[in-house]
Amino acid sequence: MSLVLIQDAFFVTILIVLAFPLGSFIFHVMDGHPTWMTKMMRPVENLVYKAIGVAPTNQMSARQYIGAVVGFSVAGFVVLFVLQLVQGVLPGNPQHLGGVTWALAFNTAASFVTNTNWQAYAGETTMSYLTQALGLTVQNFVSAATGLAVLFALIRGFVRRQEGTIGNFWADLTRATLYVLIPLSVVSAVLLMSQGVVQSLGGYHIVQTLAGGQQTIPVGPAASQVAIKQLGTNGGGFFGANSAFPLENPTAISNFVECLSLVLLPAALCVSFGMAVADAAQGRSLLIVMTGLFVVALVAITASEAYLGPQFAGVASAGSLEGKQVIHGVGATSLWGAATTSASNGSVNASVDSFTAFGGLACMFLMQLGEVVFGGIGSGLYGMLAFVILTVFIAGLMVGRTPEYLGKKIEPFDMRMVCLIILAPPLLTLLGTAMAVLMPGVGGWTTNTGAHGFSEVLYAFTSMANNNGSAFEGYATNTVFTNIVGGLIMLGARFIPMIAAIKLGGNLAGKKAVAASEGTLSTTDGLFMGLLTGIILIIGALSFLPALALGPIADFFTH
């Protein structure tokens, strides 16, 4: 365990150290300030603006920004949906894979457009190279960039005074992609290829096994997709086994690089937020709260996997190794489990269905908090800011004072938008779970029965409704019901909070600044951070405790 503690401490240290310079860089990029990349990338950026026919200096109202976000996302959905249907007659398909069924194509298009990357298929046997590269990988970039753009639209709402605009979506999208996601992905892909992650356009290999049989070794342009799937908090694996597959994550170094990539950008955005509002302490306080909740969850998962697994008389226990890669073991697998469910990523390096009851519960609860413990790129932080506003509002009620945050009064319209951001995911989670367990065929969709079988269903809809994408793997995902209902849930969970965040930013931008006074609540001290943490946990507990009692908690006491 001492080595595991060293690994975890090193991981958190590296994360925090890298978050500050990266966060500063992202702020300057999104604010339009020159950076060391500007001279090289500005011609490309201007070419993009010319090609799509927009002027990056033209500012948008909240309504116009929403129109651009929704229109762009709808176009991406249609292209990806059609590409899957017709991939069988397109090039870039050395395995001659046929078109995808309409229900699976709908679910996959919804999944990747919403930055969920929930996968009801095995990539190596379902998707052609062209679909993987032109469809899925492109959405990995632009869906992440869309979340980042919306975050800065909200941030401008806090910064601007009595203005009717919150930025230009096309400029935000382009800068996030060109200056942040592509360069980081290139660096990550090269590192992963150096560790043996495959990157090829050739066909699959047929090899002779030691037993005298034949085995098909799938390859393909994996490293390029793996890099952005992790950095973009997407999570969709090139292969069906995701990062538990050796050719997608072959070494301890590749595992560390991929795991760090899961949370790096969401952590860095806290620093960007502090710089954008000209109060670094605001960003640091949010980073502290996120990191604190992450560490508690990491300790819980690691302890559960190390000590609550099966024990055998006369055998020294190495922890619960069922469903885990031996090269990673309990420590690296638990770290990944905490990172992927906190960061709205969803990639896995083990079978989550094989986690202990409490280990699976901790992963599930991290998602049920609303993916605000780091969370997705942009979406995690604007979700956390919704909790901050709620905390300020509750504190204001306690002392009988009009709540304020960053110099803006929090009024009824703002709270309605905050409620949409916070409550949409849990409502969709519980609605989807209830619908699934009432279906006549649900007994055949789960590998297990009883409490564990219910946990498989609850985890699946928790993952989809929080745009995470991970799964217990014991739930049959490729059914018409789950493909359609799950796809609709993913779309709702993404765009209801996203539209609410943009409208909140637009409303805040139109307000005048309120001068701080002696009665203004501090939002950077330990008391506020404790109150914020408590409210996040209480809302999560109140929303899901009954369901968790029927699932993983009951599973623990019955096995």
The SS3 call for residue 37 is coil
Q: How far apart are CA 128 and CA 2, in angstroms?
A: 44
pTM of the model: 0.93
Are the beta carbons of 189 and 199 closer than 8 angstroms? yes
If you ran DSSP here, which 8-state letter would residue 440 be given?
T
pLDDT tens across the length of the chain (559 residues): 678 889 999 999 999 999 999 999 999 999 989 999 999 999 999 999 999 999 999 999 999 999 999 999 999 999 999 999 999 999 988 888 999 999 999 999 999 999 998 888 887 888 998 998 899 989 999 999 999 999 999 999 999 999 999 999 999 999 999 999 999 999 999 999 999 998 888 888 888 888 888 888 888 888 888 999 999 988 877 887 888 888 889 999 999 999 999 999 999 999 999 999 999 999 999 999 999 999 999 999 999 988 877 765 554 456 777 778 888 888 889 999 999 999 888 888 888 888 888 998 999 999 999 889 999 999 999 999 999 999 999 988 877 777 889 999 999 999 999 999 999 999 999 999 999 999 998 888 888 888 888 999 999 999 999 999 888 778 888 899 999 999 999 999 999 999 999 999 999 999 998 877 777 788 999 999 999 999 999 998 889 999 999 999 998 888 6
Amino acid, single-letter form, for residue 322: E
Angle in degrees, CA 42, 47, 51, rounded to 5: 150
Q: What's the pLDDT score for residue 222?
A: 86
For residue 65, the surrounding DSSP H or E stretch is helix 62-86
Q: Which residues contact 445 (CB under 8 A, 6 or more apart)?
A: 436, 439, 457, 475, 476, 479, 482
Tell me the domain boundaries of the chain.
Answer: 378-557
Helices (H), 87-121: 102-113
Q: What is the pLDDT of residue 315?
A: 47
Structure tokens at 82: 């059609």
